[in-house]
Amino acid sequence: MKWTRFETVPLAELIDSPVIMGRRLRTYPLEVGDAAPHALCVVSENEKAVVVPDWILEQVGAMCRQTMRLMRVPGKPPFPRERFLFLVALGDGLRFGVEHGESTLIGSSDRFFLDAKKDDQHAGGGTLGVIPHEYFHAWCGKLACPEGLVSADFHTPVNPELLWVYEGLTSYYDEVLSARGGMTLAQEYLDGVRDTASSYEIRTGRLWRSVEDSARAARHLRQRGQFWHDARQGQEYYGQGALFWMEADAIIRRGTAGAKSLDDFCRVFFDVPVNPVGAQHGYTREDVVRALTSVLPSQDWDALIRARIETPAPTLDLSPLLRLVGYDLEFTDEPTKAQAAEEKKSEGQGTINLKQSIGASFSKEGEVTDLVIGSPADLAGLAWGMKVLAVGGWTWSPDRLREAVRASKEAGKVELTVSFGERVESKAIAYSGGLRYPRLVRLEGEPDILNEAVRPLDEGPAH
C-alpha cells in the first residue's frame, strides 16, 4: 500500500484545494513558457475518456498563454501563484466547473474530450468552454473578487450584487480567450454573439428585472423551475453581464482609436496584492469605476453601469449595442449549415425551437415547453401543459409544424389542434413571418470590434 502524506495548511487553503484521485488518473503538463507549471489532470472510470489528444493540450496551453499575456504586468511573474491544475473528473451525471486559487474542479460526461472536434468546439456541445471560463477565474474571482463575497469565515452570508463583474467579465473573456487561443474559430465567436443577442431580444424579463437584481437573487435562480423562464430571467449576471463588458470593450476601443481595450482595464484592475490561496483581494463598485476611468476618462462609467446593470432595460432592442461592435442583426428564412445542424441536434435532444418565429418551443411529442410572452403563440392562447395533436388538420410531427410556419407567409396563420387535460381546442396563430433564423451582418464603415477582440495577442516580451 502506498501512502501520501499532505502538509498541514491553513483551513482556507485546504477548502480552496480540491483533490481528485483514481486508478486511471492521467496528468498532462501544459506548455506555458516561463510561467509557473500548469497541468491538465483527468480521471474517469472509462479508460478512453482520460486520453486527451495533443491538439487539445496545445489549444488549452495557447489559451492559458493568451490569458497570461492579457494580464501581464511588467516586472511581475506571468502567473500570480505557484501552479495551476485543471482537475477534470469525467463520468455519468457530472456537469460542473468550480474555480479555485491554484486549480479548477471540472466535472463532465466521459464524452468531454472524446466528442471534441478540432476547430469546432460546438461539435462537443460547447462544453470545453468551461476550461477558459474557470481559468479566467484564477484572476477574476480568486485573485480579486467583490468585497461582499470576501468573508472572514464560512458561515457569514455574502453579498453577491457585484457578480456581474465576477461572472460577467469572466463570461465575456472565456469566449474571447477561447478564440484567441484557437479553441474556437473567430466565426464561432461571432455566431455566439448572434445567438446571445437574438435570444435576449425576445427576453421580456429584461424589461422588469435588472442584471444586478438577478445577482442578488443568485441563490434562487441557480435552481429555477422550467416555466416562464424568459419572463422571470435567470442568472443574467453571466450573459447580460458579458454584454455589458462587450460594450465597455467597444467603447474603449472606439474611444482610443484602437490604442486601448478592455485588456488594459484587466491589467489595471487585477494588479492587486497576491493574498494566500483562499483569501481573495476585495474590490468595490467604486474600484471598478475608477479602473475603467483610468483607461478611458472621457466616458461616464458610473452612468453606464447604472443604465445597463442597475436598471431594467427600457427596450428589448439590442441594435445600438450591435452597431457599436460593427454589426447588425437580420433574420432570414433559410438556416446556415451550422444552424441547420444545431436545429437537428436540438431536435434529437427533444426540443423543436420556434421561439424566433411563432414564439414557442415544443417537445418531440408536441408538448409546449416554452413560450415568448406577447408572441403570436402566446396571444393565440398556447400555454404550458398543452399538447399539439394536429397541424392544419394533419397529425402532429415536428416537420409538419415547421412546414406550417414556413407556409405562414402565404397563409397568414398557423392552425393547431391542441389538447389541454381532457379538452381539445383549435388554436389559430395569427402569424405571417415564416421561419426566422438570425444572421449577423457586418456594417461597412464601422470598426469590426468583434474580430479585433478575438485577435491573438503578440506573445513577445512585455513592454
Point out which residues bind Zn ion (CB under 5 A): 167
> Residue 338 belongs to what H/E stretch?
helix 337-348
User: Which residue number is nearest to Zn ion in terms of Cβ?
Assistant: 167
Find out whether 199 and 252 touch, Cβ atoms under 8 Å: no
Of the candidates 407, 372, 367, the one whose C-alpha atom is nearest the C-alpha of residue 389 is 367
Beta carbon of residue 51, minimum distance to Zn ion (angstroms, whole number):
27
C-beta closer to Zn ion: residue 137 or 253:
137
C-beta closer to Zn ion: residue 140 or 391:
140
Helix (H, G, I), strand (E, B) or coil at 279: coil
Beta carbon of residue 457, minimum distance to Zn ion (angstroms, whole number):
22
Beta carbon of residue 170, minimum distance to Zn ion (angstroms, whole number):
5
CA atoms of 441 and 98, how far apart (whole Å): 36
Angle between helices 236-255 and 301-308 (to 10 degrees): 150
Buried (b) or exposed (e) across 181-197, using 16+ Cβ within 10 A? Answer: bbbbbeebbbbbbbebb
Of the candidates 163, 116, 186, 435, the one whose C-alpha atom is nearest the C-alpha of residue 283 is 163
Beta carbon of residue 53, minimum distance to Zn ion (angstroms, whole number):
26
C-beta closer to Zn ion: residue 167 or 264:
167
C-beta closer to Zn ion: residue 167 or 236:
167
Find out whether 246 and 194 touch, Cβ atoms under 8 Å: no
CA atoms of 100 and 18, how far apart (whole Å): 8
C-beta closer to Zn ion: residue 84 or 437:
84
CA atoms of 300 and 279, how far apart (whole Å): 32
Beta carbon of residue 222, minimum distance to Zn ion (angstroms, whole number):
12
C-beta closer to Zn ion: residue 81 or 406:
81
Beta carbon of residue 137, minimum distance to Zn ion (angstroms, whole number):
6
Number of alpha carbons in the 13 Å side-chain half-sphere of residue 235: 16
C-beta closer to Zn ion: residue 167 or 188:
167
C-beta closer to Zn ion: residue 129 or 438:
129
Q: What's at 291, amino acid-wise? A: A
C-beta closer to Zn ion: residue 137 or 427:
137
C-beta closer to Zn ion: residue 161 or 167:
167
Beta carbon of residue 167, minimum distance to Zn ion (angstroms, whole number):
5
DSSP state of 26: E
Q: Where are the alpha helices (DSSP H) in 103-228?
A: 130-136, 163-180, 186-200, 211-216, 218-221
Beta carbon of residue 78, minimum distance to Zn ion (angstroms, whole number):
22
Q: How many residues does the chain have?
A: 463
C-beta closer to Zn ion: residue 167 or 213:
167
Beta carbon of residue 169, minimum distance to Zn ion (angstroms, whole number):
10
334 burial (CB, 10 Å; 0-12 / 13-18 / 19+) is: exposed
Q: Hey, CA dihedral for 256, 258, 263, 264, is it positive or negative? A: negative
Q: Which residues contact 204 (CB under 8 A, 6 or more apart)?
A: 230, 231, 316, 372, 373, 374
Of the candidates 422, 356, 354, 421, the one whose C-alpha atom is nearest the C-alpha of residue 391 is 354
Beta carbon of residue 253, minimum distance to Zn ion (angstroms, whole number):
25
Give residue for cell 443574467: 236
C-beta closer to Zn ion: residue 167 or 230:
167
What are the Cα distances from residue 387, in Å, to 291, 348, 372, 439?
A: 53, 19, 17, 31
Beta carbon of residue 134, minimum distance to Zn ion (angstroms, whole number):
7
Beta carbon of residue 100, minimum distance to Zn ion (angstroms, whole number):
12
Cα-trace Rg, the chain: 24
CA atoms of 349 and 343, how far apart (whole Å): 10
